[in-house]
């Protein structure tokens, strides 16, 4: 059942979760519904914060709180946004990998081609902030949507884009099937004139497209003729998806070429942070699954040292171990806790004996990399595991990596000149 926020404008409303989106929701409600009664509950208050639901008629929950914990009628900022903004102005982008780059690239192409574009969601502003700042009937919203946001979405955008699909966020959703169902929710409320643009390399996405109510499009042919700063085959797929969206807006091939060439890659996504003491360092901190790290290794190929591990979510690392052997990665630095599972998988491969190092400190990991990586080769941070066992998030992890690489190079510059 679709719940409309206007139905609860004179009720007691609880904002459940008070991070960036929760604060944005509060500002939106106080601006649009000044008479509304609002309470706040956040996990930082302690385990009893969920009991505040008993004091209210209605809940607006933030994405980080699973829906199974909600005991009252509820909605989300995502649903409120879709309720209030005409769907023909919304492009929704999701995927297990590549959604931030693809959403950003779509927004970049449209904006440089003269459209009024707002990049919102995970990668941009909170969605409800965009409503408060005002927009016209010509505004296009490119909305990056996570599985958390899609878990209980009650709408579909006019254009849906799905970049990739493989297991992720299982602790939140409970099972792989529930994770996939959350992603699939993006398409379940589509109409005959809506679009889905998808990566046909994933069989389940092809099945979803077959069952889709509207028009399904999958880019075909090679797309490596675009000049771009983006690295890797997976980014060629992301470019193809973005170009397919651009064509729906009658943007010419020539303009697509121009805008793709000028697009700057996002931080911590196969980001070349420089060459220090002859070693090329790449920050791919965003890669927190085995599949995304495999894509990074395939993109660079000349990796001699890799930093792996983090929170253990029970991922299977057999294909990662196979890829590490295929590309001859000589040095593997492992972080807890997933480092144990990665090492166990590597031990099964009798023909592959890389040097393995253990640490829980990024500074030490960087030192190991400098001491064991040959001049002219690559050191890659791409952990194949979530960050949370050691770091707050992938951004903190990537920033530490970049900071310590530069610090080590600076502190040992005399050694460099004399060696």
Pick from 185, 173, 148: nearest CA to 17: 148
Q: 248 and 308: one domain?
A: no
Q: 387 and 305: one domain?
A: yes
Q: Which two structure tokens, joined as six digits, stand for 24?
A: 């944005």
Domain assignment present for residue 33? The answer is yes
What is the span of the domain harbouring residue 250?
Answer: 85-262
Total Cβ atoms within 10 A of residue 55: 11
Domain assignment present for residue 417? The answer is no
**Domain edge (last residue) among 78, 103, 131:** 78
**Domain edge (last residue) among 240, 262, 284:** 262
Domain assignment present for residue 419? The answer is no
Strands 271-276 and 279-283 come out as: antiparallel
pLDDT at 301: 84
Q: In what order do the strands lie in the sheet with 58-61?
A: 37-41, 12-16, 58-61, 74-76
**Domain edge (last residue) among 78, 111, 130:** 78
Name 162's bridge partners: 94, 198
User: Residues 41, 43, 46, 52: is their CA dihedral positive or negative?
Assistant: positive
Q: Which two structure tokens, joined as six digits, stand for 227?
A: 């000049």
Domain assignment present for residue 391? The answer is yes
Instruction: Kindly report each contact of residues 225-228 with a partner whose C-beta sits within 8 Å and lies 24 or more positions away, as own/partner.
Output: 226/256, 226/257, 226/260, 226/261, 227/257, 227/260, 227/261, 228/260, 228/261, 228/263
Distance CA 368, CA 354 (A): 14
Instruction: Check if the beta carbon of residue 358 is closer than 8 Å to that of residue 386.
Output: no
Half-sphere exposure of 272 (CA within 13 A, CB side): 14
Q: 326 and 370: one domain?
A: yes
Q: 113 and 163: one domain?
A: yes
Instruction: Check if the beta carbon of residue 230 is closer than 8 Å to that of residue 263.
Output: yes
**Segments in the chain below pLDDT 70:** 1-2, 221-224, 414-419
Q: What is the CATH number of the domain that holds 186?
A: 3.40.1190.10
Q: 160 and 179: one domain?
A: yes
Q: 56 and 128: one domain?
A: no
Distance CA 191, CA 213 (A): 6
Write the DSSP assignment of 182-194 as a string of letters: HHHGGGTT--TT-
In a 3-state reduction of DSSP, which class is residue 226? coil
pLDDT at 417: 36
Q: 298 and 392: one domain?
A: yes
Dump pLDDT digits (tens) for 125-142.
899 999 999 999 999 999
φ, ψ for residue 235, nearest 5 deg: -75, -25
pLDDT at 221: 55
3-state helix, strand, coil in the chain (%, to 5): 45, 20, 40
Q: 335 and 287: one domain?
A: yes
- Give the total number of structural domains in the chain: 3
Q: 256 and 291: one domain?
A: no
pTM of structure: 0.93
Q: Which residues contact 105 (CB under 8 A, 6 or more apart)?
A: 238, 239, 242, 260, 263
DSSP assignment, residue 387? S
Domain assignment present for residue 314? The answer is yes
Q: Which residues contact 337 (CB under 8 A, 6 or more apart)?
A: 309, 310, 311, 312, 389
Q: What is the CATH number of the domain that holds 365?
A: 3.90.190.20
DSSP assignment, residue 111? H
Q: 278 and 329: one domain?
A: yes
pLDDT at 4: 82
Q: 245 and 313: one domain?
A: no
Domain assignment present for residue 98? The answer is yes
> How many whole angstroms from its chain centre is CA 279?
28
Dump pLDDT digits (tens) for 286-300.
999 999 999 999 999
Distance CA 307, CA 303 (A): 11
Q: Which residues contact 340 (CB under 8 A, 6 or more apart)?
A: 312, 334
Q: Which two structure tokens, joined as six digits, stand for 170?
A: 């299982």
Domain assignment present for residue 418? The answer is no
Q: 23 and 115: one domain?
A: no
Domain assignment present for residue 252? The answer is yes
Pick from 164, 113, 122: nearest CA to 140: 113
In a 3-state reduction of DSSP, which class is residue 360? coil
Q: What is the CATH number of the domain that holds 65?
A: 3.40.50
DSSP assignment, residue 373? P
């Amino acid at each position: 059942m679709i719940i409309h926020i206007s139905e609860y404008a004179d009720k007691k409303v609880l904002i459940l979760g008070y991070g960036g989106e929760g604060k944005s929701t509060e500002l939106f409600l106080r601006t649009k519904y000044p008479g509304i009664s609002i309470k706040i509950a956040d996990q930082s208050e302690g385990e009893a914060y969920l009991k505040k639901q008993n004091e209210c008629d209605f809940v607006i929950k933030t994405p980080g709180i699973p829906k199974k914990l909600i005991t009252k009628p509820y909605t989300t900022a995502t649903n409120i946004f879709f309720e209030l903004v005409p769907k023909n102005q919304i492009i929704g982008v999701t995927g297990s990998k590549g959604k931030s780059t693809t959403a950003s690239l779509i927004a970049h192409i449209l904006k440089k081609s003269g459209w009024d574009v707002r990049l919102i969601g995970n990668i941009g502003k909170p969605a409800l902030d965009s409503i408060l700042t005002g927009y016209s009937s010509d505004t296009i919203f490119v909305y990056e949507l996570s599985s958390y946001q899609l878990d209980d979405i009650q709408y579909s955008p006019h254009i849906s884009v799905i970049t990739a699909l493989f297991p992720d966020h299982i602790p939140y959703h409970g099972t792989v099937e529930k994770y996939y169902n959350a992603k699939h929710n993006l398409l379940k409320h589509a109409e005959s004139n809506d679009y889905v643009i998808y990566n046909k390399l994933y069989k389940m996405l092809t099945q979803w497209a077959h069952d889709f109510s509207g028009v399904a499009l999958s880019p075909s042919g090679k797309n490596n003729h675009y000049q771009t700063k983006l690295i890797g085959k997976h980014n060629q797929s992301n470019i193809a998806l973005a170009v397919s969206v651009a064509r729906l807006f009658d943007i010419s091939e020539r303009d697509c070429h121009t805008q793709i060439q000028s697009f700057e890659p996002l931080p911590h996504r196969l980001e070349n942070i420089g060459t220090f003491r002859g070693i090329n360092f790449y920050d791919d901190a965003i890669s927190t699954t085995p599949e995304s790290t495999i894509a990074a290794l395939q993109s660079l190929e000349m990796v001699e040292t890799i930093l792996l591990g983090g929170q253990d979510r029970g991922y299977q690392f057999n294909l990662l171990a196979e890829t590490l052997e295929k590309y001859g990665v000589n040095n593997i630095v492992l972080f807890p806790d997933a480092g144990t599972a990665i090492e166990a998988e590597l031990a099964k491969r009798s023909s592959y004996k890389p040097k393995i190092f253990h640490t829980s400190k990024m500074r030490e990991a960087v030192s190991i990399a400098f001491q064991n990586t040959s001049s002219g080769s690559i050191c890659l941070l791409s952990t194949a595991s979530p960050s949370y066992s050691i770091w707050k998030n992938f951004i903190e992890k990537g920033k530490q990596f970049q900071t310590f690489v530069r610090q080590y190079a600076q502190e040992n510059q005399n050694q460099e000149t004399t060696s």
